[in-house]
């Protein structure tokens, strides 16, 4: 029986990860607030994190907890490093080398100018968020029994529409009928949290070391996705106005950071769910 310490269990990805690992062995779910039966711990506190590791003696640690809003990170670089980098360093020094560590990283470590990106493509993040994830990757680079999994924009479900990320936003915008400018420049590859959680389990079971990419099946701009989803849901979409200029935001985003995930496919993980099918599943589960 393998004991898994799941750091960030109540988040968008953490909820699906908890489900995916429940049949793997005992899971100790950890979050900042201790919601949904998780254990409350602030992993920015190095002593608290070391104490967790000492007590839980995990065979596997999944490090998901992070600040993931690039605009927040841009304005708070020091605070960002407290959560996005330091816990990786603490785990590197406190977790026995025989325990497996999986760290979730991002396509934002790339600048988006020469896609698709392979695992060994040069990284050049445009934002504090991307830089912080790159620093955490570097802190773990030569640790044994370590997997770094880079994923792009996550989509998925949650207990209510407000917890459904992009899907929830499109539905609420469509219902509002307001005219809304939507980016038609940046390429985005929505990737289902449930598929990512399965990819994590796949990599842990195979004891796959090193960097891996995992990505949804196809990319399009936010505008193109918004129209496709609105149509599928039976909403009018004329209210969505394509913006052919990048909408200014505090953090720069890569233009097209599409990930080549041939390495994990070659290991045998080929299933990916197309975004419209994710929408159907999320809505069916919300209704249920």
Ligand X SMILES: NC(=O)c1ccc[n+]([C@@H]2O[C@H](COP(=O)([O-])OP(=O)(O)OC[C@H]3O[C@@H](n4cnc5c(N)ncnc54)[C@H](OP(=O)(O)O)[C@@H]3O)[C@@H](O)[C@H]2O)c1
Backbone angles phi, psi at 156, to 5 degrees: 170, -170
| Least distance to ligand X, CB of residue 38, Å | 7
Q: Which is nearer to ligand X, 191 or 235 (CB)?
A: 191
Question: Minimum Å distance from CB 177 to ligand X?
Answer: 27
By beta-carbon proximity to ligand X, the closer residue of 43 and 186 is 43
Are 246 and 186 within 8 A, CB to CB? yes
Sequence-ordered alpha helix ranges (H) in the chain: 12-21, 46-56, 70-75, 77-84, 86-94, 128-140, 165-176, 193-205, 222-232, 262-266, 275-287
248: which 2 tokens?
């200014």
Nearest residue to ligand X, by Cβ distance, number only: 11
H/E run at residue 63: strand 60-63
Q: In the complex, what is the shortest distance from the CB of residue 164 to ligand X, in angstroms, rounded to a whole number?
A: 12
Buried b (16+ CB within 10 A) or exposed e, 94-110: ebeeebbbbbbbbbbbb
Name which of 165 and 184 has its Cβ closer to ligand X: 165
Q: Which residues contact 63 (CB under 8 A, 6 or more apart)?
A: 7, 8, 87, 88, 91, 101, 102, 103, 104
Nearer CB in complex with ligand X: 161/239: 161
In angstroms, give the least distance from the CB of 33 to ligand X.
3
**Least separation in angstroms between CB 227 and ligand X:** 20
Give the binding site for ligand X (CB under 6 A): 8-14, 31-33, 35, 41-44, 64-66, 68, 83, 104, 106, 151, 153-154
Nearest to 261 by CA among 222, 203, 216, 202: 216
Q: Two tokens at 134?
A: 């790159």
Would you say 193 or 235 has its CB closer to ligand X?
Answer: 193
Shortest reach from residue 40's CB to ligand X, in Å? 7
Residue 242, strand partner residues: 182
- Smallest gap from Cβ 236 to ligand X, in A, equals 27
Q: In terms of CB distance, is 9 or 273 closer to ligand X?
A: 9
Q: Which is nearer to ligand X, 14 or 219 (CB)?
A: 14
Shortest Cβ 68–ligand X spacing (Å): 4
**Cβ atoms of 210 and 266 closer than 8 Å:** no
Based on CB atoms, which residue is closest to ligand X, 13 or 204?
13
Residue 29 CB partners (closer than 8 Å, separation 6+): 6, 9, 10, 14, 18, 36, 37, 38, 39
207: which residues sit within 8 A by CB, 6+ positions away?
100, 145
């Amino acid at each position: 029986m393998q004991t898994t310490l799941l750091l960030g269990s109540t988040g968008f990805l953490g909820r699906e990860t908890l489900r995916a690992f429940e049949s793997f062995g005992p899971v100790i779910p950890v979050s900042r607030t201790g919601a949904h039966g998780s254990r409350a711990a602030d992993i920015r506190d190095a002593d608290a994190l070391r104490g967790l590791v000492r007590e839980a003696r995990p065979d596997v640690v999944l490090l998901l907890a992070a600040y993931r809003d690039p605009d927040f990170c841009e304005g708070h670089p020091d605070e960002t490093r407290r959560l996005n980098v330091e816990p990786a360093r603490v785990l590197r020094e406190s977790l026995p080398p025989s325990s497996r560590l999986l760290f979730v990283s991002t396509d934002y470590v790339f600048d988006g100018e020469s896609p698709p990106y392979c695992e060994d493509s040069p990284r050049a993040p445009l934002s504090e968020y991307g830089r912080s994830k790159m620093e955490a990757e570097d802190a773990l680079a030569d640790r044994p029994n370590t997997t770094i999994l880079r994923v792009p924009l996550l989509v998925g479900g949650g207990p209510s529409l407000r917890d459904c990320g992009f899907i929830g936003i499109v539905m609420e915008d469509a219902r509002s009928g307001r005219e809304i400018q939507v980016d038609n420049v940046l390429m985005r590859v929505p990737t289902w949290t449930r598929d990512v959680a399965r990819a994590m389990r796949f990599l842990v079971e195979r004891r796959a070391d090193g960097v891996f990419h995992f990505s949804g099946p196809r990319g399009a701009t936010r505008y193109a996705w918004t129209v496709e989803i609105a149509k599928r849901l039976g909403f009018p979409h004329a209210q969505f106005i394509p913006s052919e200029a990048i909408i200014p935001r505090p953090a720069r985003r890569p233009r097209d950071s599409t990930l080549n995930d041939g390495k994990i496919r070659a290991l045998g993980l080929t299933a990916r769910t197309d975004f419209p099918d994710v929408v159907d599943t999320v809505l069916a589960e919300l209704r249920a």
